[in-house]
Structure 1
């Protein structure tokens, strides 16, 4: 009887539905982070949007549907909402997060204050990359606990307020890995190559679509080993580490974008620091 009572009390102390693995891994609702929103246990997957953009929706632990929401760095702490296809609106809370500063000296002044011709090139390249980030394919991501794309220590973290030669520029929108020139870069999850290029700031660059608005971008490569349209398995080789574009030395810069918001890749490899 005593054992039955203890079990009953334990069950009553549990939440109505315990958080699943994906929620525990990804739910970091801060500017530049990820919010996981419970959508209930409907038979069919609901559709959801945030700020007018479609969201990644998966079934967690074979039971409840969840929406995985990318939060831009510009998001303010407080209440945010997503909208379901039924018209229902669901709210979640965004916490504050402080990002530190990084000051970098660039020898090439054109990479700090480009001339008119380079500005046109930059605008054209930005538009091309923005279109890639905005793609939304129906495929389900193969995994949401990502592998590291290279074997190397993390260097510059996501969200740094960056100053080039004393002038403030856009915050650091990805995660940098310290790695030697020529180090092999592997896909952290399966996906399709949707864009490659050699850009003014990013140098040699590869975009991989993992599904439902979850997209990786790898830049400053020394070599690209894939073509647009290639299907990469998890761990598939896509290129080699380099220092092309605006880089002070060999390293990999890795962006993760979710519903067209650049978010902290550290969340997806279990290395996020609140």
Structure 2
């Protein structure tokens, strides 16, 4: 009898974690620059969820309940946040996370302090990329556990406070992979190519829309093998690793965006470190 009681108690304690579902356990990292997974009801239709006036990704987890998968900006302070589920406020908590600093030396001073013509180009390019990040297709992502886009070790992590030639600039908005020039870059999940460009900072770049505001950006490519409108399956090649734009050597910089918020890509490949 004592063994039976002990078994029942262990199962009872295990149930809440199991009931969360795989996606919640994988993605729920509610920190600045992270992802919050929030229960959004059990109705027959997907609820409309908005956070900071942007639509959020909503899926049904394990066929049981709707969940919202929300990107949290790096600028958010730890504490209580609020989103809207079908117009009703719902609160969630953001935990603290510290990010370290990175100091980079660039030989090209224009990549630290661009000239007036460069600044005009940069503004145009930022507008173009902002529009791409804000697209919200109704297609549901094919999967949320991503493959690594290149075969290579992780190098610079997400969220680093970056200093170029001693001057602080925007935090690192993606995850870098160390890889040789020419290494094939593969789609980490199925998606549609929505933007291809060659930019001042990012170099040759591809945007891939996975659905419902979940978007990948790949930059510093040496070659682009796709065009806008192409539909890629998981694992299909989209280009090759390079060092175009503001880069000190060949590598892949990979951004992941949710609800127009850049979040830590390591979360989606099971490599997140608190």
The TM-score range, normalised by the shorter chain, is over 0.9
Residue 136 (structure 1) aligned with residue 131 (structure 2)? no
1:181 and 2:181 aligned: yes
Query: Take 1:214 and 1:243, find their aligned partners in 2: how far apart are those partners?
Result: 25
Q: How far apart, in 1, do the equivalents of 2:11 and 2:264 lie? A: 35
Find the residue that maps to 2:216 and give its secondary structure.
strand
Q: For residue 18 of structure 1, give the secondary structure of its aligned residue in structure 2.
A: helix
Task: Give the corresponding residue for 1:153.
Answer: 153
**CA apart distance, 1:17:** 7.2
User: 1:115, 1:46 → 2: CA distance?
Assistant: 47
> What residue is the counterpart of 1:263 in the other structure?
263
1:124 counterpart SS class: helix
In structure 2, C-alpha distance between the alignment counterparts of 1:173 and 1:16, rounded to whole Å: 31
Cα deviation 1:183-207 (Å, max 9, x = unaligned): 0000000000000000000000000
Q: Distance in 2 between matches of 1:122 and 1:82?
A: 32
| Matches of 1:7 and 1:128, distance apart in 2 | 58
Q: 1:18 to 1:110 in 2, by over 3 A?
A: same
CA deviation digits over 1:157-180, x for unaligned, max 9?
000000000000000000000000
Query: Aligned partners of 2:133 and 2:110: how far apart in 1?
Result: 26
- Does the residue aligned with 2:170 lie in a helix, a strand or coil? coil
The residue that corresponds to 2:272 in the other structure is 272
**Equivalent residue for 1:228?**
228
Match of 2:120 in 1: 120
TM-score by length of 2: 0.96
SS of the equivalent of 1:65 reads strand
**Cα offset, 1:90, TM superposition:** 1.2
Partner residue, 2:196: 196
After superposition, the Cα gap between the structure-2 partners of 1:16 and 1:267, relative to the gap in structure 1 and judged at 3 Å, is closer
Partner of 1:254: helix, strand, or coil?
strand
- Return the offset for 1:11: 5.2
Q: Distance in 2 between matches of 1:205 and 1:220?
A: 7
Superposed displacement of residue 40, structure 1: 2.1
Equivalenced residue count is 273
Query: 1:27 corresponds to which residue?
Result: 28
Confirm or deny that 1:63 pairs with 2:64: yes
Task: Output the CA distance in 2 between the equivalents of 1:15 and 1:153.
Answer: 35
Tell me which moved more, 13-22 or 176-185: 13-22
Deviation at 1:45, TM superposition (A): 1.0
Written as runs of structure 1 = structure 2, the 5 A alignment for 1:208-247 is 208-247=208-247
- Give the distance between the partners of 2:168 and 2:5, measured in 1 at CA: 62
Deviation at 1:60, TM superposition (A): 0.5
Report SS of the residue matched to 1:40: coil
Q: 1:109 and 2:109 equivalent? A: yes
Tell me the CA shift for residue 130 of structure 1: 0.4
Is there any run of 5+ residues in structure 2 with no aligned partner, and where?
Answer: none
Secondary structure of 1:204's aligned partner: strand
Deviation at 1:3, TM superposition (A): 6.8
Match of 1:40 in 2: 41
Distance in 1 of aligned mates of 2:12 and 2:100: 42
